[in-house]
Amino acid sequence: MIKKLIQKVFGGAKSRSGAARSVKVGAQSHELRIYRQAEHGIDRRDISEAALRICEGLQQAGYEAFVVGGAVRDLLLGRHPKDFDIATSATPEQVRQIFRRSRIIGRRFRIVHVMFGPETIEVTTFRGAGDASGALASEAADTEPETNTSAQTNELAPDDIESEQRSRRRPRDGRRNLPLGPVSQADEHGRLLRDNVFGSQEEDAIRRDFTMNALFYDPSRQEIWDYVSGVPDIQKKRVVMIGDPIERYREDPVRMLRAARLAGKLGFAIDAATMKPIAELSPLLENVPSARLFDEMLKLLLSGHSLLCIEKLHALGLHQQLLPVIDSLLNNEESRPFVTLALQRTDQRIADDKGVSPAFLFAALFWFPMQKRQQALEAGSMRTLQAMHEAMDDALEMQRKTLAIPRRFDVMIKELWLAQPRFLQRSQAKAHRTLSHPRFRACYDFFELRAAAGDASTEVAEWWEKFQFADEDVRETMLLPDDDPKKKRRRKRKKTGDGPDTIKQQDDIELPSLPTETA
């Protein structure tokens, strides 16, 4: 069905004549291909109203503005984008002057968040190459200042005139007056540490990661501008790196993870040249800040296709730098059904537009490693509860050596794990105590997930499903007798000022029952 949709959308693209022109960026030449609405099939009504208004506002002010990146890719594939990003020739300060409800953020590269009601649109100035002199020099040659910078500067040409033959005046552009200075800096591995330079639209397209993410959509003319053959690559369902893959991976090793995520999420194949260096360069991920790795891993797990993405990550060998436990989880007959079901249910919740808790997902991924550690500690004569607490800490700390999961997730992860043995206790006091847990529903969902995967009793899971929704009378009939031995009360000596010690019973202090020693 997707193949027919793509053929319908792009069927006439090859037959168009005069829609391409050569563009030179630095020492490289690229061909710009412009697709009209009849060729690409994108409907303006599928684009966020906020994104349309921001593009119109920037264009009316005399700047170029396009919807870019993954939103254009998803629209071409018939998907509904979760967000819309905009690229423009205006600087962040100029964008800020046009939209009062906006703020400039970022250190490495400044961007603008423009707020329209509950929606926030990210607006980015066209970015150039890392070399300041080359980027801004080529830009200055292409962008001559206009004396008339009114909103009429971007007046649309008639539809019967070819795009590349339109005599449009260049919009005004404040980027050419920026100071040069050092704007690019890389570490010893080639990873860019600082890349803060504005550029032209052509340069912005070339510096993006994959061809499918380097498409520009102009809502006013309803055109797609393609400098890097991104449309044909989408049509062929392949992930293709822009430029030399080795150099681009060294600039930003996270691009290897993005390749795996895009391939898994979209069902695309990774181009041979794009995939070849990954095995050799995967250790470069160790030099990436942990916060960026975690953010990218979260995108992968919450992509709506987490199982396929995890499998692609495993196939490329990238899991060793992020989730080494994937090997044992996917290759073990006991843990694989549980992990697979957890990922599938996460994907289904995202498809149903329901909330997803990253802590719940991480608790599922590390449940079996934690249990294995607990069993090892118990085999060393450690008590069950103490062994479980130490195993939880060990499992999370072990994972942080590769993927630094924020400690704010620890509380919920541990609560989910600690609650699991409680579901086996269905006597009156303990059942009601479990039911009153602040995160009972999440804890029960975790137990029910285990039961569905064969790791817990389905009979117990069904009992709790009925018990939590039953009225008080029905609950009383469902409760099991309390078989635990009664707790012993402590007696405490209390000293008085005028007599011998007396013994007073402390009803509010109880000790847990101790096991009976046998000879």
Q: And the tokens for 382? A: 């450690």
CA distance 450 to 445: 9
Is 508 labeled as catalytic in the residue annotation?
A: no
Q: And the tokens for 246? A: 């080795």
Cα distances from 48 to residues 6, 126, 228, in angstroms, run 22, 21, 25
Distance, first Cα to last Cα, the chain: 73
What does residue 257 show for φ and ψ, rounded to 5 degrees?
Answer: -70, -35
Q: How many Cβ atoms from other residues are within 10 Å of residue 436's Cβ? A: 8
**Do residues 467 and 431 touch, judged by C-beta distance below 8 A?**
yes
CA distance 173 to 61: 11
Residue with tokens 């009383």: 476
Is 85 labeled as catalytic in the residue annotation?
A: yes
Q: And the tokens for 64? A: 């170029």
SS3 for 187-225 is CCCCCEEEECCECCHHHHHHCCCEHHHCEEEECCCCEEE
Catalytic residue among 85, 195, 204, 271: 85
Identify which of 271, 272, 276, 277 has the alpha carbon closest to the alpha carbon of residue 230. 271
SS3 for 58-87 is HHHCCCCEEEECHHHHHHHCCCCCCCCEEE
CA distance 324 to 288: 17
User: What sign does the CA torsion over 178, 180, 186, 191 have?
Assistant: positive
CA distance 268 to 472: 54
Is 498 labeled as catalytic in the residue annotation?
A: no
Element (H, E) at 125: strand 119-125
**Do residues 12 and 39 touch, judged by C-beta distance below 8 A?**
yes
Catalytic residue among 83, 394, 410, 445: 83
Q: And the tokens for 100? A: 């009062």
For residue 450, give the DSSP letter.
H
Residue with tokens 């990774």: 270
Catalytic residue among 173, 204, 209, 347: 209
CA distance 373 to 397: 12
Three-class secondary structure of residue 31 per DSSP: strand
Query: DSSP secondary structure string, 231-261?
Result: HHHHHTTEE-BSS-HHHHHHH-THHHHHHHH
Q: Would you name the residues annotated as active-site residues? A: 83, 85, 209
